[in-house]
Amino acid sequence: MARLSRENKASRPATARARRPAKAVAERPTRRRRKSSGDTPYHHGDLHEALLKAAEQVLERDGLPGLTLRAVAREAGVSHAAPTHHFGDLTGLLSELAAIGFRQFGAAMAAARASATTPPERGMASAKAYVAYAQAHPGMYGLMFRSERLDYSRPSLHEASEASFAGLARGVGASRQEQISEESLSLDQAAAIARAWSLVHGFTMLLLEGRLSKILNRSPEGTSAEMLLDAMVRSTGGRPPRP
């Protein structure tokens, strides 16, 4: 528990700094202060980046419900209203963080695609990488796909999620051994992409929420989530509907 009364003032002696007279300014080490300079100047230097890193840490440590504006500000050792000037509001911060997640996620998927050789292997590797990312970063995945407070009109988030989706579509196209256009899709192509995405996203969500445990418990001894995914994807296959 260890509830902190009021805001966490311990991380930074604000009162001492507040009554500091202006003559102490000269003792700053450099004009453009760097991080880990020992001192805590009024201007942080790159608080934007620091807040995003703090947010990622809070998300991994306390999960999605613990990811609040004030918690992030505490983690960064800064006043609770500071994030406002860099992200506008909570939606802004969460959206920028989700954009980072989509970039990480897209990179992991691309690596998985590159590691496989044959088209069927490629699909399976992608599916496993998809679930593996979500299991390794459940908070981030929840933020990306389950949060109500994301603003996809923000350029960074829009671009990152679009790129991630384009990778998925390209992967499905490759497993069907045909080119996927950016502009238009046939119904078969659209269905293939929707099927692959729905299957792996649904599996991931159910797995993260513990809804698959009933199935896993009734499965043969020692059946893991990955084995279930393997069996599930294999029987679905990446083959085109018309042989």
Q: 171 near 238, Cβ under 8 Å?
A: no
Give yes or no for residue 86 binding DNA (CB under 7 A): yes
Complex with DNA: residue 53 or 128, whichever CB lies closer: 53
Torsion sign (Cα): 181, 185, 189, 195: positive
- From residue 177 to residue 216, the character string flagging contacts with its own copies as x (rule: CB under 8 A) and all else as - is ----x-xxxxxx-xxxxxx-xxxxxxxxxx--x-xx-xxx
Task: Pick what 23 binds: DNA, its own copies, none; C-beta below 5 to 8 Å, kind-dependent.
Answer: none
- Rounded to an integer, what distance in angstroms lies between the CA atom of residue 35 and that of residue 99? 24
- Rounded to an integer, what distance in angstroms lies between the CA atom of residue 100 and that of residue 43? 25
Pick the stretch among 16-24, 198-206, 213-221, 235-243 that binds DNA (CB under 7 A). Answer: 16-24
Give residue for tokens 């981030």.
140
Alpha-carbon distances of 100 from 10, 78, 173, 232, rounded to whole Å: 30, 22, 26, 30
Give yes or no for residue 117 binding DNA (CB under 7 A): no
- From residue 142 to residue 161, the character string flagging contacts with its own copies as x (rule: CB under 8 A) and all else as - is ---xx-x-------------
Q: Which of 65, 128, 57 is nearest to 97 (CA)?
A: 57
List Cβ neighbours of 47 (8 Å cut-off, separation of 6 or more). 76, 78, 82, 86
Binding site for DNA (CB under 7 A): 3-7, 12, 14-15, 18, 20, 22, 25, 28, 31-33, 41-45, 47, 68-71, 73, 78-82, 84-86, 89-91
Binding site for its own copies (CB under 8 A): 64-65, 145-146, 148, 162, 165, 181, 183-188, 190-195, 197-206, 209, 211-212, 214-216, 218-220, 223, 227-229, 231-232, 234-236, 241
